[in-house]
Amino acid sequence: MPAIFGRGANLTARLVYLAAAVGLIVLSLAGWLIPYTDWSSGVGFPADQPVPFSHRHHVAGLGLDCRYCHATVERSATAGMPPTYTCMTCHSQLWTNATMLEPVRRSLADGQPLHWQRVNRLPDYVYFDHSIHIAKGVGCVTCHGRIDRMPLTEKQASLRMGWCLDCHRDPAPRLRPRAAVFDMTWRPTSDTPSGATLAREYRIHTADLTDCSTCHR
């Protein structure tokens, strides 16, 4: 009676089983690792905005302070986005016919705000307050990076829970004098108080910073 399977059937079956096992392992690892990649968290990818606003031009080039556009950042949980008339304070005189600024002019004429896309987005179950971080001497660059170097705004940090907790457990290395919070180029000098000294001055108690209710309310 002739054989149903050839001599290499066993070897072929073993290779198929091995490939299937390796494939499952690779898929499992990918499913576990992908959420931790910059691609998944959006780090390094500029958001598509209605106007290609350049922080590098406005901050580093023109010297605008963060608070000129983000006016509520010192007193509110949200930093605030500039209303159209803030943009038109300058652009009613400068680049008045620029094509890229047509959405801004149309927004003012129609009385409809520009729909900026959030670059740093937290889940609804996470509470974050800009004002308290600024009051405690956390510089803008800590979370937003050197935004003054960005021609298009991109996410700098993952904002994952572990990333936030690292700072909440040991905030001292991220602290600076309050007068330097909005200074993109600030560096500590020999006269700068240490992070531990600033933490005491700002009355930062790390024992409370890792309570669940601090961020989840």
Sketch the domain layout of the chain as residue ranges: 1-36, 55-81+116-215
CB atoms within 10 A of CB 156: 18
Of residues 23 and 188, the one with the higher pLDDT is 188
pLDDT value, residue 189: 95
CA distances from 32 to 23, 43, 123, 155, 163 (A): 14, 18, 20, 22, 18
Residue 149 confidence (pLDDT): 97
Asked whether the predicted pLDDT for residue 5 surpasses 80, the reply is: no
Stated as kind and residue range, the H or E segment containing 165 is helix 161-169
Q: For a pLDDT cut of 90, what percent of the chain falls above it?
A: 78
**According to the model, what pLDDT value does residue 27 have?**
85
CB 173 within 8 A of CB 199: no
User: Of 12, 39, 73, which Cα lies nearest the Cα of 158?
Assistant: 39
**Cα distances (Å, whole numbers) of residue 106 to 52, 123, 125, 173:** 15, 32, 35, 45
- Best CA proximity match to 138, nearest among 97, 108, 161, 172: 172
Q: What is the mean pLDDT of residues 46-62?
A: 95
The residue among 2 and 164 whose pLDDT is bigger is 164
Lowest mean pLDDT among 25-29, 46-50, 77-81, 144-148: 25-29
pLDDT at 26: 87
Query: What tens digit of pLDDT does each residue of 70-96 get?
Result: 999 999 999 999 999 999 999 999 999
Q: Do residues 136 and 202 touch, judged by C-beta distance below 8 A?
A: yes
pTM for the whole structure: 0.82
Which pLDDT tens digit goes with each residue over 132-185? 999 999 999 999 999 999 999 999 999 999 999 999 999 999 999 999 999 999
In one-letter notation, the amino acid at residue 13 is: A
Q: For residue 160, give the amino acid letter.
A: R
Q: Which two tokens stand for residue 164?
A: 């936030």
φ and ψ at residue 154, rounded to 5 degrees: -130, 160
The Cα-based distances of 205 to 68, 75, 94 in angstroms read 31, 21, 48
Query: Is it the case that residue 1 has pLDDT exceeding 70?
Result: no
Q: What is the pLDDT of residue 23?
A: 87
Mean predicted lDDT score pLDDT of the chain: 92
SS3 call for 212: helix
Instruction: Say what the pLDDT of residue 7 is.
Output: 64
Question: With bands split at pLDDT 50, 70 and 90, how would you rate the model's confidence at 191?
Answer: very high
pLDDT average, residue stretch 27-38? 78
